[in-house]
Structure 1
């Protein structure tokens, strides 16, 4: 190993002897400092003998990256470690390990910060709404989106920006309490219900293949809504009198919105959301039967809901179905024949009628309640009303054992209902109760 004061010129002139893989130039100013030349590179190195007699060698750095004076300073620092009985290589390994650990820690912090910003309560609400929409629950998805937007995201943006996994019952209580203090108990109950459903879905997602995998990343293990007391909703009991119902019927015209309201009423008070999805293919003119689909409850697919219409309602639906055949969407009730009528449009029309006729306010649910109340008063049985209005049909008996179609009972009820509406419209007192059809024996031919 040649020995001389290291200079830039000597570093430049250092070459490999023939047949050698490396060459060294040892510095005379700093003990242990040298330049090592190999094929294609030159580096500052430090070489010394430890107190136990072992010779060590460690690289300081490339000559293009290190100033000579800085290299001498580093060599003296390393020599001081040797003089104290330490191995500079161990110190270097520890330092590099610490740097790598710091790099890993910093990356973990960046990842955690990114996840905190990505998997927030707001994002959970959006993901849950998307889940509802993909399950063909457009009305539920729209309602949930509206509740989240108004009472969570806009009302409590600081809470909505927190990671969903860090939401506590105290956060949920703040959200719900604000709605209650505004005097909106029913809305508060709805907000609480949707939040609970969203957290439950995220909590079950890792173990339920029917739930979207996107919910798993929120890392929700508990439902912070559970400790929040349920909020009793305001039970509506508004029903229309015969005089109010007559005013309502007379106010309905022949435009598409009013036709939807007429069909909903004359078919026994059907849910508007289901009725607006009906197409020309859902009406059978031979049997005067209208087919709707009921997605409510925990069904995996919508239940077929058949309505054997009375003559007056059939006369309303038949031309609608015939006209719908020539439209792109094929819907009985649509906007310009191209897209479904908005579910809120008929409700807005009811508000107009209430205003124009100076009536006590009511809504479509009140009309549906009125229809069932009057059907009950006419002697229509609870079972037939349940089948006719498609509610409360989800138990084990209904799903697996009771296969009776109730077609005769439903048709008789709707014919009787049309007679009753005709009496109301003409101001005639009811003729009396409907005689119930006896159910056919399951063993009958």
Structure 2
């Protein structure tokens, strides 16, 4: 190939002739240096040489950015690499890999807890829980958000501002600053003010650190022992059962009276269902009509441990659900139907048992406010929704119900070898005890209810 001495005039005057896709001129001042012009009007310095009998071509850069002397120096460098038996393309690839590795490492080391926590929340929202084999509930995600929130926002209910979550002080820190000493200091500060919340936040932080260790972006950044060092465990508050969060026998009349007088029949039935089944709050809010079998008097509950479980549907609760189904299946009035039609919508019954027209999910999400109102109206001390689950287990002892039966209804794991390996109670046996528990609770509450009162409605639905 003919060579010319590269000058500014020759570089600026070189172009691709019509009918060709590209055209080259080669420099006499540096081996392998050329200038390529394309039909699109682009020009690029290139270097071309031989390596192990094959042709190697490497782009150097645009003449606008490279002077002739600089291009010659780069061509000579590439020639020296080839003379040493090295492929310039491999060197460039290695440099790109090294650069990317440095970039990733810099990001890893500069990442804050808050940034990684946002990725962790996205994982929780999209991944299936390995424990339950199901998607995590919105309340579970909201709990993680609240515990890391900075606070200071207007409350959705009531006046005032929200308080910061116990994990909030850790969010601005770099991941590599999450040392055992720092976690111990944080835990000691939080435990002094809110020991229960601190212990809960620690468990979430522990799961978060374990997740980080399994991610390429964050693995190895958080120092070892950040959550299980003796420095940390020494200040970890001991988990204790909540005292007093349970209804007593003598409180049942006032509680039932207040709950049954709530203006919302869905909330009223929901709260009574929690007490009469001992189910977890999310298990009951997620109940669909397809999960209710009026014919065989059973409920299929979405169990967080085993995926699902079938429990009896005792007579009084069956009556409450029958009334909800009647309300659910009743079409709105003519005026409401007209409004729906004007919006291009069609009415259909809800698939949720405890439906809500305001919640995005279609079922009730936050019934605590109404329960608090009922407790205040009844003059009773505060009892959480989980306390109603605790109440079921406690009150069942009054009828001397076997603990294994209660555990199976509530979805607790077996606590003994015999329970785990040798007890397989059929639904009919559970129903005997469950009906007995419900009858005793209603008797103590002063509710005059006879099981046959709901039989006619059950029979009509099952037909």
Structures share a fold, TM > 0.5? Answer: yes
* Structure 1 Cα separation of the partners of residues 105 and 426 of structure 2: 57
Matches within 5 A, 1:127-206: 127-128=123-124, 130-131=126-127, 135-138=134-137, 139-149=139-149, 150-151=164-165, 154-159=168-173, 161-162=174-175, 167-181=178-192, 183-203=193-213
Is 2:125 aligned against 1:110?
no
Q: Which residue of 2 is the match for residue 272 of structure 1?
A: 281
Q: Which residue of 2 is the match for residue 319 of structure 1?
A: 323
Cα gap change, 1:406/1:303 in structure 2, threshold over 3 Å: closer, same or farther?
closer
Cα gap change, 1:408/1:302 in structure 2, threshold over 3 Å: closer, same or farther?
closer
Gaps of 5+ in 1: 14-21, 27-31, 44-60, 79-86, 206-214, 428-445
* Structure 1 Cα separation of the partners of residues 323 and 388 of structure 2: 24
- C-alpha displacement at 1:296, in angstroms? 2.6
* Structure 1 Cα separation of the partners of residues 423 and 318 of structure 2: 28
Q: Which residue of 1 is the match for residue 298 of structure 2?
A: 290
Secondary structure at 1:236 match in 2: coil
* Structure 2 Cα separation of the partners of residues 10 and 320 of structure 1: 89
- C-alpha displacement at 1:155, in angstroms? 2.7
Given that 1:132 and 1:140 are in contact with CA atoms closer than 8 Å, whether structure 2 keeps it comes out as no
Cα gap change, 1:340/1:400 in structure 2, threshold over 3 Å: closer, same or farther?
farther
Secondary structure at 1:155 match in 2: helix
Q: Which residue of 2 is the match for residue 211 of structure 1?
A: none
Given that 2:250 and 2:444 are in contact with CA atoms closer than 8 Å, whether structure 1 keeps it comes out as no
* Structure 1 Cα separation of the partners of residues 134 and 248 of structure 2: 38
Of 118, 123, 126, which residue of structure 1 is paired with 2:119?
A: 123
* Structure 2 Cα separation of the partners of residues 408 and 232 of structure 1: 38
Secondary structure at 1:235 match in 2: coil
Cα gap change, 1:344/1:107 in structure 2, threshold over 3 Å: closer, same or farther?
same
Cα gap change, 1:415/1:397 in structure 2, threshold over 3 Å: closer, same or farther?
closer
Given that 1:270 and 1:389 are in contact with CA atoms closer than 8 Å, whether structure 2 keeps it comes out as yes
Q: Which residue of 2 is the match for residue 232 of structure 1?
A: 238
Cα gap change, 1:195/1:130 in structure 2, threshold over 3 Å: closer, same or farther?
farther
- C-alpha displacement at 1:92, in angstroms? 11
Q: Which residue of 2 is the match for residue 380 of structure 1?
A: 401
- C-alpha displacement at 1:194, in angstroms? 1.3
Q: Which has the larger radius of gyration?
A: 1
Q: Which residue of 1 is the match for residue 458 of structure 2?
A: none
- C-alpha displacement at 1:406, in angstroms? 4.7
TM-score, normalized by length of structure 2? 0.61
Secondary structure at 1:370 match in 2: helix
Q: Which residue of 1 is the match for residue 253 of structure 2?
A: 246
- C-alpha displacement at 1:251, in angstroms? 0.6
* Structure 2 Cα separation of the partners of residues 356 and 328 of structure 1: 33
Cα gap change, 1:111/1:93 in structure 2, threshold over 3 Å: closer, same or farther?
farther
- C-alpha displacement at 1:316, in angstroms? 1.0
TM-score, normalized by length of structure 1? 0.63
Secondary structure at 2:175 match in 1: coil
* Structure 1 Cα separation of the partners of residues 357 and 11 of structure 2: 86
* Structure 1 Cα separation of the partners of residues 122 and 255 of structure 2: 39
Given that 1:147 and 1:191 are in contact with CA atoms closer than 8 Å, whether structure 2 keeps it comes out as yes
* Structure of greater relative contact order (alpha carbons < 8 Å, 6+ residues apart): 2
Matches within 5 A, 1:28-67: none
